[in-house]
């Protein structure tokens, strides 16, 4: 019926359309299978990723331009204010840093006394987040350095306040990272106050983490700081993750209902730090 | 028509690139779930208007690019886009003469099919089930279609009418 109508120069039948669709569907399924089962396609993915890179740059450009404009048109007054604030901050930070280096030295000495492996300082590099949304149904971000700069899968990402996430896919010039708030992400943490270990699981909400495996009698209260325990092998230990927000103990349930607020401003960060930690002492990484 | 094919490739490719940009452009957390599937809409438009040049093959290629930039399974969006392009090409003559109400219903069905294929592949691959807002792009896509249609028609006929 459709075919018989025939537009002026556009015969309705496209030759072998069904065949082509079938072929493409089969190719897609094979590709997906290969991609899902084994990671044979990382090369192809990286290739296409590199081809898309200019588009990401162009999308990112207006945001960058806007920021740049904002910065270059700030009034002198504002700049002076900022400068004053930053000077004060620097003074404070420096003072704290002095104490920190003393503490670090003391810590190393004590560790040496205990004959424990001394913690090596982690190497850190700053990366910028590209204003690009990756998959909308996951909490992802894309950063502007990739395998060319030594980024690797599973690498930890932090910002000035705490843990942001970890790298899941490394391109040549960019890398994709999953945020700790992603519903499929979990990381081993401990309560800073007493060393109680547990797992912080993402909820899919940007400002909430769940701690589903704390028994009702666990010593945890609102306001407790959670830091990475370093047990999973992916994150170095001691970085702040979240602050416990509420603890609800339901008598008939085996586990308490504990939620926490991520320490890092996950939806506001613009610059993040990638951590190259010293390789952990042979730890078999458990499946997440 | 021959004259058309060569000279009109570039504008179409540009619309695809712009579509990809809109797809990866950052939006605030509250608006983001409602982002229409720009590329699906653009693919439907061109498959409807110029089905000989832009049909399943180009749709599949665009899907692969989308997969690579989303980090989804390679072939997932490709499969979905390819299927809706096929449906569009099959019914393109019908869709061209549809009044707006029926065309909107068709677009709605196509977008729902697109989301459903993605949803289904996610399910098979074991990606955790999304919330209800997963289906929001189907509605926003349908609502935005008339405007996109006018705009892309402008792209298509723009140079011919000397504009």
Q: Which two tokens stand for residue A270?
A: 């613009």
What pLDDT does A62 receive? 77
- Token pair 């490709």 in the structure block, residue: B78
φ/ψ bin of A199: left (φ > 0), alpha (ψ from -120 to 50), beta (otherwise)? beta
What pLDDT does B107 receive? 92
> What pairing do the DSSP bridges indicate for beta strands A209-211 and A123-130?
unpaired
Query: What are the φ and ψ backbone dihedral angles of A153, each rounded to 5 degrees?
Result: -65, 135
**Cα angle, residue A164 at apex, residues A108 and B66 outer, rounded to 5°:** 140
> Touching check for A128 and chain B: CB below 8 Å?
no
The span from the CA of A277 to the CA of A235, in Å, is: 8
- For B81, the enclosing helix (H) or strand (E) is helix B76-90
The span from the CA of B55 to the CA of A21, in Å, is: 10
What pLDDT does B41 receive? 93
CA distance A18 to chain B (A): 8
Average pLDDT over residues A147-158: 86
Alpha carbon distance, N-terminus to C-terminus of chain B: 19
- Token pair 């992802």 in the structure block, residue: A140
Mean pLDDT of chain A: 79
**3 state SS of B162:** coil
Contacts of B119 in chain A (CB under 8 A): none
Q: Is the ipTM of this complex over 0.85?
A: no
DSSP class of A172? S
What pLDDT does A204 receive? 80
Q: Which two tokens stand for residue B21?
A: 């940009």
What pLDDT does A1 receive? 39
Q: Report pTM.
A: 0.66
Mean pLDDT is lowest, of A6-15, A28-37, B83-92, for A6-15
Whether A219 shows a pLDDT value over 90: the answer reads no
Neighbours of A29 (CB within 10 A): 13
Convert chain B into a string of H (helix), E (strand) and C (coil): CHHHHHHCHHHHHHHHHHHHHHHHCCCCCCCHHHCCCHHHHHHHHHHHHCCCCCCHHHHHHHHHHHHHHHCCCCCHHHHHHHHHHHHHHHCHHHHHHCCHHHHHHHHHHHHHHHHHHHHHHHHHHCCCCCCHHHHHHHHHHHHHHHHHHHHHHHHHHCCCCCC
What are the CA-CA distances from residue B158 to residues A120, B8, B108 (Å)?
Answer: 64, 11, 27
Q: Which two tokens stand for residue A191?
A: 């309560």
DSSP class of B26? -
Please tell me which residue, A2 or B146, carries the higher pLDDT value.
B146
Provide the residue ranges of all domains of chain B, joining segments of one domain with +. 10-22+35-157
Average pLDDT over residues A109-126: 68
Residue ranges of E strands in B33-134:
none
Please answer whether residues B122 and B131 qualify as being in contact, where contact means their C-beta atoms are separated by less than 8 angstroms: no
Which of A7, A18, A21, A23 to mutate against chain B (most B CBs within 10 Å)? Answer: A21
The most confident of A97-101, A111-115, A279-283, B33-37, by mean pLDDT? B33-37
Whether A198 shows a pLDDT value over 60: the answer reads yes
Do A135 and B72 lie within an 8 Å CB cutoff?
A: yes
The span from the CA of A21 to the CA of B56, in Å, is: 6
Which of B69, B113, B140 to mutate against chain A (most A CBs within 10 Å)? Answer: B69
Residue of A nearest to B48 (CA): A12
Contacts of A27 in chain B (CB under 8 A): 60, 75
Ranges of residues in chain B whose predicted pLDDT is under 70: 1-8, 128-130, 159-163
Residue of B nearest to A37 (CA): B125
Do A14 and B17 lie within an 8 Å CB cutoff?
A: no
Q: Which two tokens stand for residue B7?
A: 């000279």
Which residues, other chains included, contact A185 with Cβ-Cβ below 8 Å and sequence gap of 6+?
A: A139, A165, A166, A178, A179, A201, A202, A288
Q: Which domains does chain A have, with CATH numbers?
A: 120-277 (2.40.10.340)
């Amino acid at each position: 019926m459709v075919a018989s109508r025939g537009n002026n120069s556009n015969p309705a039948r496209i030759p072998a359309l069904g065949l082509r669709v079938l072929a493409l569907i089969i190719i897609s399924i094979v590709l997906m299978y290969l991609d899902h089962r084994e990671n044979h396609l990382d090369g192809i993915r990286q290739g296409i990723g590199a081809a898309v890179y200019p588009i990401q740059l162009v999308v990112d450009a207006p945001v960058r331009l806007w920021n740049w404009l904002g910065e270059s048109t700030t009034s002198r007054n504002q700049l002076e204010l900022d400068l004053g604030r930053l000077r004060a901050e620097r003074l404070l930070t420096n003072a704290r840093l002095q104490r920190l280096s003393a503490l670090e030295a003391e810590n190393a000495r004590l560790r040496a006394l205990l004959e424990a492996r001394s913690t090596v300082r982690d190497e850190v590099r700053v990366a910028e987040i590209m204003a690009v949304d990756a998959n909308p149904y996951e909490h992802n971000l894309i950063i502007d350095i990739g395998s060319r700069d030594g980024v690797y899968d599973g690498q930890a990402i932090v910002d000035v306040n705490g843990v942001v996430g970890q790298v899941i896919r490394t391109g040549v010039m960019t890398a994709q990272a999953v945020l700790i708030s992603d519903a499929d992400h979990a990381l081993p943490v401990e309560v800073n106050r007493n060393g109680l270990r547990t797992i912080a699981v993402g909820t899919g909400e940007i400002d909430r983490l769940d701690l589903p495996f704390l028994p009702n009698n666990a010593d945890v209260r609102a306001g407790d700081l959670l830091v990475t325990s370093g047990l999973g092998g992916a994150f170095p230990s001691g970085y702040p993750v979240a602050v416990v927000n509420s603890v609800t103990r339901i008598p008939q349930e085996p586990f308490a209902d504990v939620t926490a607020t991520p320490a890092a401003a996950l939806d506001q960060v613009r610059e993040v730090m990638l951590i190259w930690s010293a390789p952990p002492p042979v730890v078999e990484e458990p499946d997440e | 028509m021959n004259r058309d094919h060569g000279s009109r490739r570039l504008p179409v490719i540009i619309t695809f690139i712009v579509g990809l940009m809109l797809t990866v452009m950052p939006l605030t957390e509250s608006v983001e779930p409602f982002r229409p599937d720009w590329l699906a809409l653009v693919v439907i438009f061109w498959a409807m208007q110029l089905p000989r040049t832009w049909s399943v093959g180009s749709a599949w290629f665009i899907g692969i690019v989308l997969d690579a930039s989303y980090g989804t399974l390679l072939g997932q969006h490709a499969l979905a886009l390819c299927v809706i392009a096929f449906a569009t090409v099959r019914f393109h003559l019908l869709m061209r003469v549809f009044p707006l109400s029926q065309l909107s219903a068709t677009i709605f069905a196509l977008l729902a099919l697109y989301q459903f294929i993605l949803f289904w592949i996610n399910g098979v691959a074991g990606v955790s089930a999304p919330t209800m807002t997963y289906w929001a792009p189907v509605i926003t896509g349908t609502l935005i279609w008339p405007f996109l249609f006018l705009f892309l028609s402008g792209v298509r006929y723009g140079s011919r009418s000397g504009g």
